[in-house]
Chain A
């Protein structure tokens, strides 16, 4: 049970995370300017996901301090989002099949 054991991260730690996020922002802008063909969107989304993960894990304290339930909640959120996207694409992705 998550009690009052707070996240004893130091300010320095958070600043490091911030710099990582800024670096990734630079990276994603840079990657967008290079033609990677079909990989451009993949790279962009991968970097975005890494950034999102950093925020969720460290700024939102999901890593370490928070209990299992939080993780279950987050995963179910992502799962149902993917369900919405995935099954809708089951229609749009197969419209041209004959």
Chain B
């Protein structure tokens, strides 16, 4: 990713540098060559339609190139591959909290293995922050009340800066951390040695039972609510005729304000859990809902191995 961005950047530098040099040279040359001298008079010129068109159309094409190339990279930056390892992130004034799928939690540091796509699912507890790792050329604002997503693939082991790039109050400049990239084996060792919480989906499953979700959402779909198995990542038809893809934000919204999007064929009876559960618990629930989707038969084979949504039975490779 960094390479792509740099290539585009250098391309822009070249073209724009060239333009700068061209125009400034012209200005300087004209200024010297046509400087005021005795007996020399300015030569009046009205303008030239041909020239005007030339210097509108050529830049326009250059601009389209910039746009298209930039758009392609942006698209990649915004669409995490399906097989990413998923890290849940909660930002708050002024720290970063990360939670690995295996349950490891860390603050202001994020350990990741090399050559793995890492998808960071982020939300904020207070104001807007921004997840910025200059070395990976990625940045994404972190908003309260919803999820935003960034992803990267680190290739070289090392420690990289993590900055908060959206102004968020007094210690905005202190809201920094490290992204520690390790060889996979070392990463395993780190995971094993680190603080051990239950894996996220397991925590989520516990909450699911404890909060009474399971009374309505039974796996076989016989409850008052729809079965949540197989929901995530698929299209859901809504009562008002629209259909949406169930992503992290959809699940989150379904829990926080269930009345907003009603699944077709169901009554809007689900109570809101707003204010009753924390962002961390919400993350766990989302991870759980995901995990039971990806285990469904009929899913692409590769999804079994999807690291971010494994249950505890699966081992990290």
Contact = CB atoms under 8 A, between A and B. Distances in A.
Direct contact of A and B (CB under 8 A): yes
A1 interface: no
A41 to B, nearest CB: 13
Chain A interface bracket (under 10, 10 to 19, 20 to 34, 35 or more):
under 10
Contacts of A98: 245, 247
Interface string A51-87: 0000000000000000000000000000000000000
Nearest to A95: B249
B77 to A, nearest CB: 15
Chain B interface bracket (under 10, 10 to 19, 20 to 34, 35 or more):
under 10
Interface string B130-167: 00000000000000000000000000000000000000
Interface string B247-267: 100000000000000000000
A90 interface: no
A2 interface: no
B244 interface: yes
Interface in B186-208: none
Nearest to A97: B245
A16 interface: no
A96 B247 CA distance: 9
Nearest to B240: A38
Contacts of B242: 96
Question: What are the nearest 3 A-B pairs in CB distance?
Answer: A98-B245, A96-B244, A98-B247
A98 B245 CA distance: 7
Nearest to B247: A98
A98 B243 CA distance: 11
Interface in B220-248: 242, 244-245, 247
A98 B233 CA distance: 10
A98 B244 CA distance: 9
A42 B290 CA distance: 39
B239 to A, nearest CB: 13
A98 B250 CA distance: 12
A96 B242 CA distance: 10
B312 to A, nearest CB: 29
Contacts of B247: 98
A96 B236 CA distance: 12
A13 B31 CA distance: 68
A96 B244 CA distance: 7
Contacts of A96: 242, 244-245
A96 B260 CA distance: 13
A33 B131 CA distance: 50
Nearest to B233: A98
Contacts of B245: 96, 98
5 contacts: A96-B242, A96-B244, A96-B245, A98-B245, A98-B247
A13 B317 CA distance: 84
A96 B246 CA distance: 10
Contacts of B244: 96
Nearest to B243: A96
Nearest to B235: A98
A43 B236 CA distance: 30
A91 to B, nearest CB: 14
B65 to A, nearest CB: 23
